Structure 1
Amino acid sequence: MGDTRISGEVIGIDLGTTFSCVAVARKGHGVEILANDQGNRTTPSYVAFSAATASSERFIGEAAKNQATLNPRRTIFDKQVTKAVVTVPAYFNDSQRQATKDAGTIAGLNVLRIINEPTAGALAYGVNQDPNTKRNILVYDLGGGTFDVSVLEIDSGIFQVLATGGDTHLGGGDFDQRVMDHFVQLIKKRYKKDVSKDPKALGKLRRGCERAKRVLSIQTETRVEIDSLMDGTDLSEPLTRAKFEDLNLDLFERTMRVVRSTLKDAKMEKREIDEIVLVGGSTRIPMVREMLKKEFDGKEPSKGINPDEAVAYGAAILGANLTTDQVGVVVGVILLDVTPLSLGVDVVGDLMSVVVPRNTPIPTKKTREYKTVKDQQSIIYFLVLQGERTLTKDCLQLGSFEITGIPPAPRGAVPVEVTFEIDADGILTVTAKEEATGNSQSLAIDKYKRNLSSREIERMIREAREMAEHDKKEKARVDARNQLERAIYDLKKAVSEKLHMCDGDKTVVEAALDEASDWFDGNKNACMQEYKDRRQKLKGLLKKLSPA
């Protein structure tokens, strides 16, 4: 196989919720974090516009945040940037990943790869470790707006993601909000002012609380001081680290629950983790380190990488491995990421048939064979699903398609191969092919509106665990229903083919089958035992079809 790498420099972009960071790997320099036009190594993820006029201006980063002018340039040391690796939260779905790629295209970039943020953080950590030492690492990525956990195995330059978990509605902004809520109530009680009804005052308070949070990462006490907060009233109130931790304790504990569930998904014990890697600015909060240390029986989280820059650093490493110009800049790596939810189809029977299980390494290509379920069936309808539940109705429907022109044949005689292919960006294509005629149909899922929020992904996994016993019983009920339907079908076929059956017996059996069919059509939600009893009753009819 030839070298598929491209030429030219590739930047790594950490497109964060609150801050973004850009890095590049270059010969003779290693990996460098690129400062913006104001000399800062991270840029606020803000865009603002002046009044909507013919001369309206766009502001980016600090300019948008502070209402100052900024003229962004897409150059690195006088070289135009055209290629990039961009990071996203591990729990982003296909449409969110595709939207990120589209945004890069609109910005004039060729997005070569989408990579999960914690995986990029693992690359930043692992690339400087002994390549001959096998290590299991847990990446704890707590940013401004999202939280991700990944468990990886690093061995001989191969980075294999074993499991991912996350909460994309939890981050540093939530800690700020808790502190804000505290001060809103304090101001109302002590100053008799309702800040919650004044957007400008709320903005000032938010910035003050964010500053206090950062100070409390290095000091045990600070003051929230804001001149002319509202109606000429100045604010100057103390805030201790202990109070900050108390206000956010349940949020910290939420992250630990995700850590435990991700370890369980990876089938790994805490003692098997060799290193805890911290990514994201919010991991500077002392309570985060303390809780992780306690959770892992005294193991100290790694301090070897800058949590604000690690994701961009890792993306730049991957970018360097995609280009021929960067050979020798970093050690070659092979990255094996995973898919966050199971993928499959419902062909018949209201049950999810999994083709790609959750936490399967990607890119991947998996095929399953399905067969016709009726005599002379000419069309098979496929419903593509995502989720962890047993029943079709409890999973997310990604799209549908059908194979037509199937040659006439008895039930189960015509096989159709269904292939799920997920590329390195996590984008899915489903193909079904009927072997006899060569008829095929494909569905590119990223072209469909999935309407799946990150919170829904988390909910689906949580509900799958909580409803496991219910789903097991429901699957048994649906299986019993499908078995009864098959028994009715098989008996009808047997009666029609039983040439030596006396007319009297045939009439009795046909009447019983008609009654069973009518009952089945009107009782699709009957209990499992009713289906079993009906099927058992029909089994007795089989003896009448057998020779004496």
Structure 2
Amino acid sequence: MAKISINLATGSFQQEEIIVGIDLGTTNSLVAFINPDKNPQVINDTGKGLLVPSVVHFNAQGDALVGNDAKEFLITDPANTIFSVKRLLGRSYKDVAAHQDTFSYKIIDDESDSLVKIKAGDKFYTPIELSAEILKELKARAEHALKTPVNRAVITVPAYFNDSQRQATRDAGKLAGLDVLRIVNEPTAASLAYGLGLDPAQQKTIAVYDLGGGTFDVSVLSIQNGIFEVLSTNGNTFLGGDDFDRAIVYYWIESNKLDKEAVTKDSGLMQSLRLKAEEAKKALSTQSLYNEKLRFDGFEEVKPGEIWCTLDKQTFENLIAGKVAETIASCKLALSDAKLTTAEIDEVVLVGGSTRSPYVKQQVAAFFQREPHDQINPDEVVALGAAIQADILAGNRSDILLLDVTPLSLGIETMGGLMDVIIPRNAKVPTKAGRQYTTSLDGQVNMKISVYQGERDLVRENRKLAEFDLKGIPPMPAGLPKVDINFILNADGILTVQAIELRSGVKQEIDITPSYGLTDDTVEKMLIDSITHAKSDVDQRMLIEARSEGEQLVYTAQRFLDKHASYLSTDEIKNTKIHIENLQQALEKAEKDEILKKADELNEFTRPFAERVMDVAVSAAMKGKSIDN
């Protein structure tokens, strides 16, 4: 095997290859690099434009189609065409349940806090797998355009992404065959693209207004000595250009005197109208009137005919005024949280395709009382900044100081022998990160915490650093205790691990020296192994997670039958037992999709009478209460 040297300061391969910057977006994604002239440049390949729509379509065989080609299936096969997957990264069903109606595909509700899964055909996918498909497409386009392998990348995320969402993004990169050197905040990347923060002597306070297709956020950053600090962030993960499109669609439905309920029921017709609305919105950035017809052959609820799609600039601005006002309200809150006034903001940067609207620019300029930066294409600015960050990590910018980083990930063992990363490799030192866990058994009073270092998904492939028990957890039902596990890594490389049960205050901590005894060769081998085995590691992780969830569901369903049999009919009890048995058989076969399918069937079957039992319990509790006058 060829020898590959590794820089322990960055934990990255020192090969003569290009490191790319990737903007993994809600609506569109793109990839950029530093060209031979030392300028950031977005990669345009395959003749399909710079932007890769963040859309994944699965055909009947389960093969994935990504980007422009997949977008066509939003109309013809919406159930198997996944969009806005970024909204689902690192989230459970409970996090997104209120927005289920905005997705045309099925998100699985397993009545737990585990991460969401999406059903397409007979297969189940995690947002990590779906994001990996988008990243693979970006990687392939970059390799084709640059005529060289692309194995390393910087990927951007919103400033408000939590640790779970950042780790999910890293995992997606790993699954796509990328060594993710750094996860960078999108506002930081946008600022770098404008040259802000590249001069170490520069001190500035910046507001980054990012209005994309599906999300809005505003971040207030402080730049000092080349270090970016997020002072505050605010926004709405379900507000963006899609809302502008929706407002136009409803306007056209009304102005054409169409049956709103009938049209909205028809996903194919709605997608056709939405795409036309998107076209109108873009046109009105440079013209004052849009006037087109939409002809259709007839759908499920609507007879064949045509819809006049007419819209003038003033009406469009009236339609979006409320949504834009919401973004300005978020800007006010962000400034308030940062304890700053608009006069103390030195620069304003616009990001996201929706900021092309002249009305949006006017409102932002009026609020901050200064003209915002919009010279760089707002769709490209984040990817270009990510490429600059990649160039910094490659050591090609001697004027910029890189802080020390940890060379290998640090985490703990979770159910099924999985590694749950708390501090990812390449995190700046000193750093602190934490996550919340709970118990898996009723009455559990102790929790074993095993700390590992490494990049593999299974702890047995990583290096064990320490182990200790958190004792004295009050006996409670499974899932009720809340245990915060915090990792604090100081500048000397000493790791302190704290475990605190929040309800009782029970606490335990230990100090570890993670880098002790690791040679350069060992670190190198661990990094190479993690990339070589990425696909098999992720497959194993997802099977273990599916088994853990399936076993937990069997346990919960059996307890439900034991406690509430008197509220159920004989058929309900009998069929629930059949579904439990089917799930147990799937668990024995150890096939991920089969386990998830049987778990979904058990959930769907039991949901109606589980809700009925809950209603009875609530009613009984209410009757037992007295109200004092």
Taking a change above 3 Å as real, the CA distance of residues 89 and 192 of structure 1, as seen in their structure-2 partners, is: closer
Counterpart of 2:72, as a letter, is N
The answer to whether 1:201 aligns with 2:269 is yes
Taking a change above 3 Å as real, the CA distance of residues 177 and 267 of structure 1, as seen in their structure-2 partners, is: same
Deviation at 1:43, TM superposition (A): 1.1
Deviation at 1:27, TM superposition (A): 4.5
The residue aligned with 1:421 is 488
The residue aligned with 2:393 is 322
Secondary structure of the structure 1 residue equivalent to 2:69: helix
Rounded Cα–Cα distance in structure 2 between residues aligned with 1:93 and 1:282: 24
Taking a change above 3 Å as real, the CA distance of residues 317 and 422 of structure 1, as seen in their structure-2 partners, is: farther
Secondary structure of the structure 2 residue equivalent to 1:248: helix
Deviation at 1:183, TM superposition (A): 1.9
Taking a change above 3 Å as real, the CA distance of residues 74 and 25 of structure 1, as seen in their structure-2 partners, is: closer
CA deviations over 1:358-395 (Å, ceiling 9, x no partner): xxx9765469xxxxxxxxxxx99999xxxxxxxxxxxx
Q: Is the 8 A contact 1:101 1:111 kept in 2?
A: yes
The residue aligned with 2:291 is 223
**Which aligned pairs between 1:117-516 and structure 2 lie closer than 5 A?**
117-127=186-196, 132-189=201-258, 194-228=262-296, 230=298, 231-297=303-369, 299-324=370-395, 326-327=396-397, 332=400, 364-365=430-431, 403-404=470-471, 420-421=487-488, 430-431=497-498, 440=510
Q: Is the 8 A contact 1:118 1:148 kept in 2?
A: no
Rounded Cα–Cα distance in structure 2 between residues aligned with 1:363 and 1:137: 24
The residue aligned with 1:63 is 69
The residue aligned with 1:375 is none
Taking a change above 3 Å as real, the CA distance of residues 264 and 229 of structure 1, as seen in their structure-2 partners, is: farther
Listed as ranges, the gaps of 5+ residues in structure 1 are: 337-360, 368-378, 384-400, 406-417, 450-548
Rounded Cα–Cα distance in structure 1 between residues aligned with 2:489 and 2:342: 30
Taking a change above 3 Å as real, the CA distance of residues 73 and 245 of structure 1, as seen in their structure-2 partners, is: closer
Deviation at 1:93, TM superposition (A): 2.2
CA deviations over 1:38-81 (Å, ceiling 9, x no partner): 2411111111122x23xx6432111111369x984551521111
CA deviations over 1:191-210 (Å, ceiling 9, x no partner): 89942232221111010001
Rounded Cα–Cα distance in structure 2 between residues aligned with 1:183 and 1:333: 54
Taking a change above 3 Å as real, the CA distance of residues 302 and 128 of structure 1, as seen in their structure-2 partners, is: same
Counterpart of 1:199, as a letter, is S
Counterpart of 1:286, as a letter, is P
Taking a change above 3 Å as real, the CA distance of residues 192 and 17 of structure 1, as seen in their structure-2 partners, is: closer
Deviation at 1:441, TM superposition (A): 8.7
Rounded Cα–Cα distance in structure 2 between residues aligned with 1:429 and 1:63: 49
The residue aligned with 2:39 is 30
Deviation at 1:161, TM superposition (A): 2.4
Rounded Cα–Cα distance in structure 2 between residues aligned with 1:362 and 1:241: 47
Rounded Cα–Cα distance in structure 1 between residues aligned with 2:297 and 2:172: 37
Rounded Cα–Cα distance in structure 1 between residues aligned with 2:446 and 2:48: 60
Rounded Cα–Cα distance in structure 2 between residues aligned with 1:280 and 1:20: 11
Taking a change above 3 Å as real, the CA distance of residues 2 and 62 of structure 1, as seen in their structure-2 partners, is: closer
Taking a change above 3 Å as real, the CA distance of residues 135 and 334 of structure 1, as seen in their structure-2 partners, is: farther
Counterpart of 2:67, as a letter, is G
Taking a change above 3 Å as real, the CA distance of residues 270 and 429 of structure 1, as seen in their structure-2 partners, is: farther
CA deviations over 1:242-290 (Å, ceiling 9, x no partner): 2122222221111111111111222211101111100010111112111
Taking a change above 3 Å as real, the CA distance of residues 320 and 300 of structure 1, as seen in their structure-2 partners, is: same
Q: Is the 8 A contact 1:6 1:323 kept in 2?
A: no
Rounded Cα–Cα distance in structure 1 between residues aligned with 2:489 and 2:337: 20
Taking a change above 3 Å as real, the CA distance of residues 137 and 113 of structure 1, as seen in their structure-2 partners, is: same
**Which aligned pairs between 1:535-546 and structure 2 lie closer than 5 A?**
none
Rounded Cα–Cα distance in structure 2 between residues aligned with 1:420 and 1:111: 21
CA deviations over 1:203-232 (Å, ceiling 9, x no partner): 110100010011111122212431236443
Deviation at 1:132, TM superposition (A): 4.0
**Which aligned pairs between 1:522-537 and structure 2 lie closer than 5 A?**
none
Q: CA RMSD in A?
A: 4.0
Taking a change above 3 Å as real, the CA distance of residues 327 and 234 of structure 1, as seen in their structure-2 partners, is: same
Q: Is the 8 A contact 1:89 1:146 kept in 2?
A: no
Secondary structure of the structure 1 residue equivalent to 2:286: coil
Secondary structure of the structure 1 residue equivalent to 2:385: helix
Q: Is the 8 A contact 2:241 2:354 kept in 1?
A: yes
Higher relative contact order, chain-length normalized (CA < 8 Å, sep 6+): 1
The residue aligned with 1:500 is none
Taking a change above 3 Å as real, the CA distance of residues 421 and 25 of structure 1, as seen in their structure-2 partners, is: farther
Q: Is the 8 A contact 2:205 2:220 kept in 1?
A: yes
TM-score (norm 2): 0.52
Rounded Cα–Cα distance in structure 1 between residues aligned with 2:497 and 2:329: 34
Counterpart of 2:41, as a letter, is E
The residue aligned with 2:57 is 48
CA deviations over 1:337-378 (Å, ceiling 9, x no partner): xxxxxxxxxxxxxxxxxxxxxxxx9765469xxxxxxxxxxx
Counterpart of 2:27, as a letter, is T
Counterpart of 1:49, as a letter, is F
Q: Is the 8 A contact 2:446 2:471 kept in 1?
A: yes
User: How much identity, in percent, do the aligned residues show?
Assistant: 41
Deviation at 1:115, TM superposition (A): 1.6
Secondary structure of the structure 1 residue equivalent to 2:393: coil
CA deviations over 1:127-147 (Å, ceiling 9, x no partner): 587654432211001111111
Counterpart of 1:208, as a letter, is K
Taking a change above 3 Å as real, the CA distance of residues 122 and 218 of structure 1, as seen in their structure-2 partners, is: same
CA deviations over 1:78-116 (Å, ceiling 9, x no partner): 111111111122222222222211111111111121122
Match of 2:18 among 2, 9, 16: 9
Deviation at 1:335, TM superposition (A): 8.6
Secondary structure of the structure 1 residue equivalent to 2:308: strand
Rounded Cα–Cα distance in structure 2 between residues aligned with 1:208 and 1:335: 48
Secondary structure of the structure 1 residue equivalent to 2:194: helix
Q: Is the 8 A contact 2:252 2:308 kept in 1?
A: no
Listed as ranges, the gaps of 5+ residues in structure 2 are: 1-6, 75-135, 405-426, 434-444, 450-467, 473-484, 501-507, 513-541, 546-629
Q: Is the 8 A contact 2:254 2:260 kept in 1?
A: no
Secondary structure of the structure 1 residue equivalent to 2:364: helix
Taking a change above 3 Å as real, the CA distance of residues 333 and 42 of structure 1, as seen in their structure-2 partners, is: farther
Rounded Cα–Cα distance in structure 2 between residues aligned with 1:32 and 1:18: 20
Taking a change above 3 Å as real, the CA distance of residues 9 and 293 of structure 1, as seen in their structure-2 partners, is: same
Rounded Cα–Cα distance in structure 2 between residues aligned with 1:147 and 1:364: 30
Taking a change above 3 Å as real, the CA distance of residues 15 and 420 of structure 1, as seen in their structure-2 partners, is: same
Taking a change above 3 Å as real, the CA distance of residues 232 and 110 of structure 1, as seen in their structure-2 partners, is: same
In the alignment of these two chains, the number of paired residues is 368
